[in-house]
Amino acid sequence: GQENIGRSLLNAHQRGHLPHAMIFVGPEGVGKDAMALELARLILCPNGKGDDDCNSCRRAAKIGHPDLHFIVPLPRSTGSSSDEPLGVRLKPSTEEDLIAQLKEKAKNPYHDIQLTDARSILIDQIRALKRMVSLRAYEHGAKVYVLSQAHSLTDDAQVSLLKILEEPPPNTYIILTTNTDTALLPTIRSRCQHLKFSPLAASVIEEALVSRENVEPERARMISNMADGNYHRALTLLHDETILQREDVLSFLRAAYTGKPMDIHNCVMKITQRRAVNEIEEALRSMLSFLHDAWTLQINDSCNSLAFADYRDTIVKFCKTLSRDDLTRFVEMVEEAITDIRSNVIPPLVLLTLAMNVHRLFHQKKIKNARM
């Protein structure tokens, strides 16, 4: 999703002009860490390719290469930490969490590592970095240090880091990734080359969701339009209950329209299984929101204030199947279903009844329209 930056870095590396200190700056979820890790793999590859064909590339891809150091905010140490590789002595549970999240980061470079009580990159971590920088590389010569969430560097950590940037050892590359470089000292900014990352295009996010996460194209398109150029947010939305609820509502409406018994049964089970009564009620209220959108578009087809804005085309098709009086009756049916749910009527029975009543409402005038 950041092809221009990738090409620029590749060209600089091939010409031997890659800066030893860089700042990748841009909004959350646009691939700054992903690009930093990809560049690290290229730098550490003895073949100069970074294409996963060698042992070095495979270890770098797993953030397991001895000359690749990925630094994130850590909780403050409670004891002496001068002999700790990370510069901070971690609780066993925190260390386990860090290892697990680094593995997740290797699988999904858009994963945001967040440890309990970890708010800053600490001075002790930079002191440890300085010790590592002074040592020889384990392998073919280069060393790479990625400081993720660099805006979280404490003031004294930044001063300590500045001394490294002023006289970087040969074959040492330091990459800072940050949402905002204004949190960094001007003297740090002046010693680093800046690369600005832009929000990802919705089409890029959609393609990634389909190819990497096996998301259905329609769902991927909806989520990509809601992600605001942030792939991390798109991954979060995949598991957002509100999004799942809206999709269940649309599936229910389609099944009720077609009247296919198995489709209706599957949709009812999907809404009612593993959901508390209040969550089923929320699904029905989401259905009311969809109906309100349909009513709104029948009055003003240019309105953009819709709860289901990402399904505008579906709502438009839906509007063609029912009159305003039909929509009013539909709303009454859903409200009756909510009352039944609150009265402890068996939820699957409530939704099956609603589906049959809605199907009759759709077809009472034998209207034949394109499938929603």
The span from the CA of 230 to the CA of 307, in Å, is 21
Architecture of domain 3-198: 3-Layer(aba) Sandwich (3.40)
Q: Average pLDDT of the chain?
A: 89
DSSP 228-253: TT-HHHHHHHHT-HHHHHHHHHHHHH
What is the mean predicted confidence (pLDDT) over 187-211?
A: 94
Return the structure tokens found at 121.
């990159």
Indicate if 241-363 has the same CATH topology as 3-198. Answer: no
212 pLDDT more than 60: yes
CATH node for 241-363: 1.20.272
The CA–CA distances, whole Å, from 14 to 18, 32, 101 equal 8, 21, 32
For residue range 310-353, list pLDDT tens digits in order.
788 889 888 888 888 999 999 999 999 999 998 989 999 999 99
Closest alpha carbon to 71 in 174, 167, 162, 142: 174
pLDDT at 81: 58
Q: Pick the range with the lowest mean pLDDT from 76-90, 165-179, 275-289.
A: 76-90
Concatenate the DSSP letters of all residues of 135-147 into one string.
Answer: SPPSSSS-EEEEE
How is the chain split into domains, by residue range? 3-198, 204-238, 241-363
Instruction: Decide: pTM greater than 0.85.
Output: no
Per-residue pLDDT at 367 exceeds 60:
no
| pLDDT over 50 (residue 206) | yes
Check the CA dihedral 15-17-19-20 and report its sign: positive
Parallel, antiparallel or unpaired: strands 21-25 and 143-147: unpaired
Q: What pLDDT was estimated at residue 370?
A: 47
CA distance 1 to 116: 31
Point out the least confidently predicted range of 62-76, 161-175, 301-315.
Answer: 301-315
Say what the pLDDT of residue 39 is: 96
pLDDT at 38: 95
What is d(CA 181, CA 12) in angstroms, rounded to the nearest whole number? 23
